[in-house]
A and B are shown apart, each in its own frame.
Chain A
Amino acid sequence: MAEITRRKFVTIGAAGLALATIPAIFRFNPAMALTPMLDEHSVLEEYYSHFGVNQEIIRKIMGAALEKGGDYCDLFFQHNISSYVALEDDIVNRAYTNVDFGVGIRVIKGDQTGYSFTEEVTTESMIKAAKTAASIAKGVSSGEIANLGFHPTPDYYPIQTKWEDVSIDKRIPAIQQINKVMHDADNRVIKTNTSISDDSTYILVATSDGRIVCDYQPMVQIAGSCTAEQNGQRESNGFNLCGRHGIDFVSPESLDRIGTESVRRTVNLFDAVKPDAGEMPVVLAAGSSGILLHEAIGHGMEADFNRKNTSIFSTKIGKPVAEKFVNIVDNGTNPGVRGTINIDDEGNDSQKTYLVRDGILESYLHDRISAKFYNVKPTGSGRRQSFRYPPLPRMRNTYMTDGPHSYEEIIKSVKKGIFVEQFTNGQVNIGAGDYTFYVKAGNLIEDGKITKPIKDINLIGNGPDSLSKVTMVANDMKMAEGGWTCGKNGQGVPVSMGLPTIKVSSITVGGVS
C-alpha cells in the first residue's frame, strides 16, 4: 500500500525477516573486495563490474532520463544481501536470507519528481525505466550530459570481512551462547528467543551534474528476548545491540550483556506498577531516550515538510526554542553507529548538522530538492529505503550533546515524577506537533529518589512545548545501542539516537488515576 497517510514513526527491533547468504548468494563477483588499498579508479571499476555498467552506459541512460527536458536525474544502483539466523525452544532451527538487486532512476523538473526502477540491470530495461521517469517533464532535451567524476568518501564503518563471506557456523554459536546466559541467569525464565541478523549493501550513485560515488554499508543486530514466570504472572522483554560492524562485534562480552540485560529487564517487570495519569516531570535516561528528540523535533526539521509548509517548525529557524544549554545535532558521521552513512543516497557528503545550537533553531535536514528550494548546501540527509524509492530528507543519528547538570542533581530535583529508560516505538503529527513514545520500562521518582519500576505506558506531548521544557541536561550523553528503524511515507531507514540524562518539566503520562 502506498502510504498516503504519511505516518511518521520509529520502531525498535525491525531488523525483520530479511536475510542472507551464507554460502555467498552473490550474483556477479563473489570475490569483490573493497579494501582501502585499492586506488580510487579500482574501487569504481569494481562497482561498475559489480553492477555490470560503465560510464558510457550510465550516460546513455541519463540521456534517456532527460529526453523530455528534466532539470536533473540520478541513478541509484543497489545490491543488498541479508541474513537472519534464530534460535527458539533452545535450538537454532531457522534461517532466512534475502537478495535484492536493482536500479532506481529519478528525474527532477523544478520540485517535481518522476521515478521508476528496474530489477533487471540491462541497458534495455534501464532505458525503459528512464523514459518512464522522464515523463514528469513535458518538453525537449536540454542537451549534453556531463562527464562523471568519482567522488571519494571517508569510511566511518571499516570492517575486516564482509557479512556475505562470514559462514553461518560463525553465527550459530553466538546465539546459542546468549540462550545459555539467559537460562543460567534466572530460573524463572521459561522461554527464550535469540537471533543475529546482518546486511551487506553495495550502492553506486551517479548524478547528471557529474558526480559518481560508491559505498559498502554493513549492518548487524544481535538480539535476545525471553518470557519469565513468577506465581502465575508472565512478563516478556529483551535487549539488542546493533551497528555498522563486522563479525568482531560478536564478542563474548556483548553476548553476555545481551543475555543478562534481557533477563534483568524481564524479571524487573514483575514488580512494576503504573504511575498516576496526567502531567508530571519526566527524567529521560541517557541513551535510547533520544527517541524524544527523534519525534519531538527531528521529523519536524526534515525540510520537505517545511518546504511544503506543513511542519510546526516552518517559521522557527533562527528563533529560540529551548534553554541556552540545549544543543541538538543530527550526525551521519559517528563511527559504527546504525544511522551513520559515508555518503547519502543522492551522492552528497554525510555531515554533522546542528538542529539546535545554544537553544536556537539552526538548520533543517535537507535533501537535494529542499536544498535547492532554500538555496542552501545539502546536509547529506537524502536517504531511501532501497532502489524502489526516491530519496527524502531523513534523520541519521539524532542526539543532544552534554549539558551543565549531573544525573544526581536531576533525580534529586524531582519530587514526584517518572524516570524512563526503555522504549519500543514513537510517532508524531508533524503539523500539530503532538508526538508520543511508548515506555517499556522505567521507575517512579518519589522525593528525589528512584523507586518502584514502571512499565507499558505511553507518553504524549507537543514538540516545541516539550523542547522549551527541557530544564536540566546532564553530562553523560550516550548513544542508543539497539536497532531503530524510522518510517516515513512508507520507507524505513536505519537510524540511531542519543541523549544525556535530561529533565522535561512536564509531559502527559499514560498512567492510571
Chain B
Amino acid sequence: MITNDRLELAHWVVKSAKAEGASDIAVNISNSRSVEMEYRDGQLDVVKESTENSLNISLYVEGKYSGHSTNDLRQDSVGKFVRDAVAMTKYLSVDKFRKLPDPKYYRGMVETELDLIDDRYDSIRSEERVAMVKELQELTSGQSDKIISSTAGYYDNISESIKVHSNGFEGVSEGTSFSYGVEVTLDDGKGGRPSDWNYATTRHLSDMEAPANMSKKVVESALAKLGQEKIESGVYEMVIHNRAATQPIYALYSPLTGRSIQQKRSFLDGKLGEKLFSEKLTVIDDPFIKRGLGSRHYDGEGMATRKRTIIEKGVVKEFLIDNYYGNKLGVEPTGGSVSNVSFEYGDKSLDELIKQVTKGILVTNFIGGNSNGTTGDYSWGLVGMYIENGKIVKPVYEMNISGNLIDLWANLVECGNDPYKYSSFRRPSLYFKDVQFSGL
C-alpha cells in the first residue's frame, strides 16, 4: 500500500464506522520498515528485517468510548473489525467527557520544515550497514586487552503515520531514524565483568556520531569502572552525566499529566504557578527542532503543537492536559504529551561542573529504582565515580539515592552546557547539592 491507498482506507473506515452507528471516530494507520544488525566478536550475529502495519481506531458511540487496533489491513477484515468494535462499545457506560477535540485545536499548525526524512534511506545497501557495525566493533575490541566481548548494533527505520478524524482532521507524518552503538564487557580479574554501552539515535544518517569517537568513549567509561566499590552512606553533592540525566526528569512526567492531576495521583496537584524547584530549572517542550527525534506539527490527538515552557525558573507553568482530562477537569487542553524536551542550559561543561564539587558523586548510570508520583518520593540505584575536591577519585557502585523530588529539584545548583543531542530528551549534565546516598 502507498500513502494514498492508506488515506483512502482511513476515510473508508470513518464511513463504515459511521454507518455502523458511531457518532465520531479517529483513525490512525501506520507503516514502518526497519533493518537491524548486530556484529559480535568478529562476526555478524543477527540480521533482522521487517515491515509492520497497524490500524488503530478510537470510537465514540452513543456517548461511549473504546479503542481498537489490528495489524490486518485487508479491507474485508477491516470491515468486520469495525463492525465488532462498534458493537462492543455499546456495552460500556456513557462518559460525557469523551469526545474528539474541538476542531479549533487542529488549526494554526506551524508549517515549519522539520526535515525528519533522510532521503538516502532507500538507497542504503545491506553491505553498508554490515560495514558500519563491523567497523565499530573492530575499533572497540582493539582498544584494551581487558575486553572479553563487544557487540556493535545498528538499526534503521522509516515510518509513516496517517491520521483522519471524523470531525475534520487529516494528517500525514513521516520520518526516518538511525541508531548505532556498541556494548563492551571487561574482565576485572576478580570474577566481575563490568560493561558499558554507548549509542546514538539520529534522524539523518549523516548526523551520526563517528564510530572512532563512540568506541573510544565506551572503552574509556568501561575501563573507568574497574575496581568499583561501595562507599559510606551520607549526604553528598551529585553530578549526573547527561546520558543518565533522564531519570530525575522523567520522574516529573507522569505527575505533570492531566490524568494524574484529575485522578489525584500527583504531588504537583494544586501547585501550578508555585515556585517549587531551583530557579536553574527551566523545561521547554519544543516541537519544531529541525531533525529533532520528537519533532512534530500535531500531537497524538491531532492538536496543533506549539513551543511551550512547562517549568520556568523552578515554577510549574503548565500541566500536560489532553482533551479528555481537560474536559474532566473543566480546563482547556494544553496537549497531553511532549515532543522534544529542552532546557535552559548553563555555561559549564561536565568537567567544569565536576571541578566545583568538594565531596560528591558523578552518576554515570542509574540502575532500577522508581518514584511515587502521588507523593514525590524517589529511590534509584546507581553506578558512578566518587569526586573529592574537584577530582575523580574512584569508581563506585551498588549505591542508592533517595528522597523527595521537590527537595531534589530545589537543590539543583546548575545545568551544564551540554544538551544530549541523540534523544528527544535533550538534557544537560546536572549538578545538585545535598543528596542522600546509601552505600555501606
Contacts and interface: CB of A to CB of B under 8 A. Distances in A.
Main DSSP-derived SS at the B contact region? strand
Contacts of B368: 9, 425-427, 435-438, 458, 460
A347 to B, nearest CB: 20
B197 interface: yes
Given A23-B88, A235-B375, A513 B381 contact: no
Interface string A418-459: 000000111111111111111000000000000000011111
B364 interface: no
B399 interface: yes
A262 to B, nearest CB: 14
Given A310-B193, A434-B381, A2 B153 contact: yes
A304 to B, nearest CB: 10
B367 A457 contact: no
Contact of A429 (B230, B367, B377, B399): B367
Contacts of B72: 27, 99, 101, 119
A96 B58 CA distance: 9
Contacts of A96: 66-69
A191 B149 contact: no
Interface string A64-89: 00000000000000000000010011
B370 A113 contact: no
Contact of B225 (A99, A116, A432, A458): A432
Contact of B193 (A6, A99, A311): A311
A115 B155 CA distance: 14
B179 A1 contact: yes
Interface in B136-160: 148-149, 151, 153, 155
A234 interface: yes
Nearest to B126: A135
B434 to A, nearest CB: 12
Interface stretch (A201-209, A213-221, A271-279, A393-401): A271-279
B153 A455 contact: no
A310 B69 contact: no
Contacts, number: 292
Given A6-B197, A308-B40, A457 B50 contact: no
A508 B399 contact: yes
B224 to A, nearest CB: 13
Contacts of A135: 47, 126
Residue of B64, B87, B153, B402 most packed against chain A (CB within 10 A): B402
Contacts of B194: 429, 431-432
A438 B192 contact: no
Interface in A210-241: 227, 229, 233-236
A488 interface: no
Contact of A5 (B34, B91, B186, B197): B197
By size class, the interface of chain B is 35 or more
A94 B64 CA distance: 8
Interface string B375-392: 101111101000000000
A310 B233 contact: no
Given A98-B70, A113-B46, A460-B368, A455 B377 contact: yes
A511 interface: yes
Contact of B52 (A111, A388, A513): A388
B388 to A, nearest CB: 20
B189 to A, nearest CB: 12
A364 B236 CA distance: 40
A510 B400 contact: yes
B79 to A, nearest CB: 12
Contacts of A42: none
A11 to B, nearest CB: 9
Given A315-B191, A438-B368, A99 B397 contact: no
Interface in B161-201: 177, 179-181, 183, 185-186, 191-195, 197, 199, 201
A429 B70 contact: no
A233 B377 CA distance: 13
B91 A227 contact: no
Contact of B370 (A98, A111, A118, A425): A425
Given A278-B438, A511-B438, A460 B50 contact: no
B185 A390 contact: no
A21 interface: yes
A434 to B, nearest CB: 5
B195 A458 contact: no
A464 B88 CA distance: 51
Interface in A358-416: 388, 390
Contacts of A277: 233-234, 400, 402, 436-439
Contacts of B155: 1-2, 4
B438 A99 contact: no
A105 B381 CA distance: 39
B95 interface: yes
Contact of B95 (A5, A93, A119, A508): A93
Interface in A448-476: 455-462, 464
B402 A511 contact: yes
A510 B401 contact: yes
Given A4-B181, A235-B375, A457-B402, A119 B71 contact: yes
Contacts of A97: 66-69, 85, 88
B149 A427 contact: no
A112 B65 contact: no
A510 B439 contact: no
A307 to B, nearest CB: 10
Interface string B308-325: 000000000000000000
Nearest to A511: B438
Interface string A7-51: 001000000010101111101000000000000000000000000
Contact of B91 (A117, A168, A435): A168
B199 A5 contact: yes
B144 to A, nearest CB: 15
Nearest to A11: B370
Interface string B9-51: 0000000000000000000000000101000110111111111
A92 interface: yes
B32 to A, nearest CB: 11
A119 B77 CA distance: 13
A119 B264 contact: no
Given A309-B148, A460-B400, A511-B438, A5 B183 contact: yes
B46 A278 contact: no
Given A432-B228, A460-B399, A314 B436 contact: no
Nearest to B64: A93
A245 B339 CA distance: 40
Nearest to A5: B197
A312 interface: yes
A312 B399 contact: no
B264 to A, nearest CB: 5
29 contacts: A6-B197, A19-B68, A19-B69, A25-B81, A88-B263, A97-B88, A115-B46, A115-B49, A119-B51, A119-B52, A136-B44, A136-B47, A169-B91, A227-B374, A234-B374, A277-B402, A277-B436, A278-B439, A308-B41, A425-B368, A429-B383, A431-B185, A436-B367, A455-B372, A456-B371, A460-B367, A460-B398, A508-B438, A513-B436
Interface of B: 34, 36, 40-41, 43-53, 64-72, 77, 80-81, 84-85, 87-89, 91-95, 98, 126, 148-149, 151, 153, 155, 177, 179-181, 183, 185-186, 191-195, 197, 199, 201, 225, 228, 230, 233-235, 263-265, 328, 367-375, 377-381, 383, 397-403, 436-440
Given A168-B91, A308-B41, A510-B379, 9 more contacts: A1-B155, A94-B95, A97-B66, A100-B70, A135-B47, A308-B40, A388-B52, A429-B195, A431-B192
Interface of A: 1-2, 4-6, 9, 17, 19, 21-25, 27, 85, 88-89, 91-102, 111-119, 132, 135-136, 168-169, 172, 190-191, 193, 227, 229, 233-236, 274, 277-279, 308-312, 314-315, 388, 390, 424-438, 455-462, 464, 508-513
A-B CB proximity, top 6 nearest:
A510-B400, A436-B368, A431-B193, A277-B438, A427-B368, A2-B155
